[in-house]
């Protein structure tokens, strides 16, 4: 049955907006991976122009008229199709109402400043000098506070920013969840074993690249639809249907850093690939549901799969060959123990799966106070270092391993960090349900490197759902209950017991 003309018209305009948003993603990806340094200033203007253009289209009154006309024409559809269309337009109106609150000149300025900030952050990190980035960060904080004011909030400004990543989430609720989780994690950290780095010497970037390039295809993301590059901070992005980009960074003394970076970012891209495979893509319902769900996909492939015994039983001989090592030089047991070692570290992206959430809690507490005006940008290094000492017992030697280590604040992404821990909670719950339904999956993992059952399960239960349901409904439909951190704690305790046998 042909769609009513009003629905066709609305989708045509929506898809034009989506097309230019993907063009902006190309500009961002290139600026972080390929662009020469001198192009930064002009690139920031390009990105700002596209951001302002798409914002104008989204907030234009004629688009609102198209949406309202589309709503009226839903009654012409068969009854079984109406609920999905109502949900699609409901999701779009939520997005549009949020966009309507932001003036075009603010959107343009925010896009311009964040693009400039990325390069300045990278230089400051390289120079280990927070003061050289402090003024730009202060500008980003003020813009983010202004953004929160535009969005509106009932309790605190940080809630308005958090809502952009995890709809409906409140900082006070997150605080309670994280406090309870921290209480459970502290005794685990105290008893978890630490194992030394078993690599006999440095592993060249070329050798690591050879191995890392195998991983996306192994998990189900083919080279025809993706590519792997290097950047200052690992990330993944979708540039449109059939075009997913992944980056990682390399440490010759600890090759696991690049490997788990690739596994993590591949998880993100597999989710985006699944979304763009949904019928009728792109529509408002074929977007990712929340950053917490997005992070659940990356953390699941990184941890539940990437740190599992079956995964390493399969890839171990491949790694030895690519790294030009023998099993005597790199014994399997020592490697596997190191992969699942627990050690308090200064850098989040190098943290093990047990202590990782403590890094997130620290960042959540700092950025919440920063946006709510309780602390100042100039005091961040001192506050950061004190919290690292309190939570980890570690002394920060320089800003690069401290307050400058993450890219997020240079992106103006205040409110993003909590979604990592939410993702860890979701991923443990998802994987537990998957193994109940596919109890023999570990044999396919180890014998054939076959992860198709898991990818198929994720496609069916999560990727193909897009934004059709809210997070709580998706969790209940997929696992039978709301999100529960007990599955994460159970997984971590089980992992420690496994490696200490």
295 annotated ligand binder: yes
Do 377 and 134 form a contact (C-beta atoms < 8 A)? yes
Annotated active-site residue in 88, 265, 350, 367: 265
Rg (CA), the chain: 23
Distances (CA, A) of 191 to 53, 79, 494: 54, 58, 13
φ, ψ of residue 473 to 5 degrees: the values are -65, -40
What residues pair up with 248 in beta bridges, in sequence order? Answer: 230
Residues 6 or more apart whose CB falls under 8 angstroms from that of 209 comprise 228, 250, 258
Q: What is the largest CA-CA distance in the chain?
A: 71
What region does 72 belong to: left with phi over 0, alpha with psi -120 to 50, or beta? Answer: alpha
Which of these, 187, 190, 150, 155, lies nearest to 174 by C-alpha position? 155
Q: Which class for 50: exposed (0-12), middle (13-18), buried (19 or more C-beta within 10 A)?
A: buried
264 annotated ligand binder: yes
Distances (CA, A) of 319 to 122, 300, 308: 31, 21, 15
Rounded Cα gap, residues 194 and 378, in angstroms: 36
Four-residue CA torsion sign, 11, 17, 20, 25: negative
Rounded Cα gap, residues 169 and 171, in angstroms: 7
- Helical segments of 166-227, H only: 171-191, 205-212, 215-219
Count the residues in the chain.
Answer: 501
55 annotated ligand binder: no
Rounded Cα gap, residues 116 and 40, in angstroms: 7
φ, ψ of residue 397 to 5 degrees: the values are -90, -30
Q: Which two tokens stand for residue 379?
A: 């005091």
DSSP secondary-structure letter at 2? Answer: P
Concatenate the DSSP letters of all residues of 85-139 into one string.
HHHHHHHHHHHHHHHHTS-HHHHHHHHHHHHHHHHHHHHHHHHT-THHHHHHHHH
Does 88 qualify as catalytic in the annotation?
no
φ, ψ of residue 238 to 5 degrees: the values are -100, 125
- Which residues are part of a known binding site? 264, 268, 295
Q: Catalytic residues, which ones? A: 265
Known binding residues for Zn(2+): 264, 268, 295
């Amino acid at each position: 049955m042909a769609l009513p003309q009003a629905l066709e018209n609305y989708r045509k305009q929506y898809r034009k907006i989506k097309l230019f948003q993907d063009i902006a993603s190309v500009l961002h990806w290139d600026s972080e991976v390929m662009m020469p340094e001198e192009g930064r200033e002009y690139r920031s203007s390009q990105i700002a122009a596209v951001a302002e253009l798409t914002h104008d289209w989204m907030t234009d009154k004629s688009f609102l008229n198209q949406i309202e006309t589309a709503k009226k024409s839903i009654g012409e559809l068969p009854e079984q199709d109406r609920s999905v269309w109502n949900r699609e337009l409901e999701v779009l109106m939520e997005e549009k109402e949020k966009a309507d609150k932001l003036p075009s000149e603010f959107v343009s300025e925010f896009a311009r400043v964040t693009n400039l900030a990325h390069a300045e952050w990278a230089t400051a990190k390289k120079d280990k000098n927070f003061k050289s980035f402090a003024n730009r960060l202060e500008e980003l904080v003020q813009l983010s506070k202004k953004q929160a004011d535009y969005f509106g909030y009932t309790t605190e400004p940080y809630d308005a920013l958090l809502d952009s990543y995890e709809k409906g989430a409140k900082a006070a609720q997150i605080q309670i969840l994280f406090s309870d989780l921290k209480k459970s994690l502290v005794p685990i950290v105290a008893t978890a074993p630490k194992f030394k780095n078993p690599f006999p010497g440095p592993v060249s970037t070329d050798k690591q690249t050879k191995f890392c390039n195998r991983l996306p295809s192994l998990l189900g993301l083919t080279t025809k639809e993706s590519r792997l590059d290097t950047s200052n901070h690992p990330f993944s992005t979708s540039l449109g249907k059939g075009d997913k980009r992944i980056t990682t960074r390399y440490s010759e003394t600890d090759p696991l850093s690049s490997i788990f970076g690739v596994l993590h970012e591949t998880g993100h891209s597999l989710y985006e690939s699944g979304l763009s495979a949904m019928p009728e893509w792109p529509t408002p319902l074929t977007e990712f549901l929340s950053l917490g769900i997005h992070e659940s996909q990356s953390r699941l492939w990184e941890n539940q799969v990437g740190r599992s015994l079956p995964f390493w039983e399969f890839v171990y001989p491949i790694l030895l060959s690519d790294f030009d090592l023998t099993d005597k030089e790199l014994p399997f047991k020592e490697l596997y123990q190191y992969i699942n070692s627990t050690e308090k570290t200064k850098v989040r992206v190098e943290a093990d799966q047990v202590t990782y959430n403590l890094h997130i809690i620290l960042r959540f507490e700092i950025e919440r106070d920063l946006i709510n005006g309780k602390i100042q940008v100039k005091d961040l290094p001192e506050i950061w270092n004190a919290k690292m000492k309190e939570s980890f017992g570690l002394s920060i030697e320089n800003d690069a391993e401290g307050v400058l280590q993450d890219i997020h604040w240079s992106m103006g992404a205040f409110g993003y960090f909590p979604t990592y821990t939410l993702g860890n909670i979701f991923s443990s719950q998802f994987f537990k349900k998957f193994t109940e339904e596919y109890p023999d999956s570990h044999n396919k993992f180890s014998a054939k490197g076959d992860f198709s059952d898991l990818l198929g399960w994720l496609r069916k239960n999560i990727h193909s759902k897009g934004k059709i349901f809210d997070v709580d409904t998706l969790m209940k439909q997929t696992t039978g209950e709301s999100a529960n951190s007990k599955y994460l704690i159970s997984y971590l305790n089980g992992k420690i017991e496994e490696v200490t046998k």
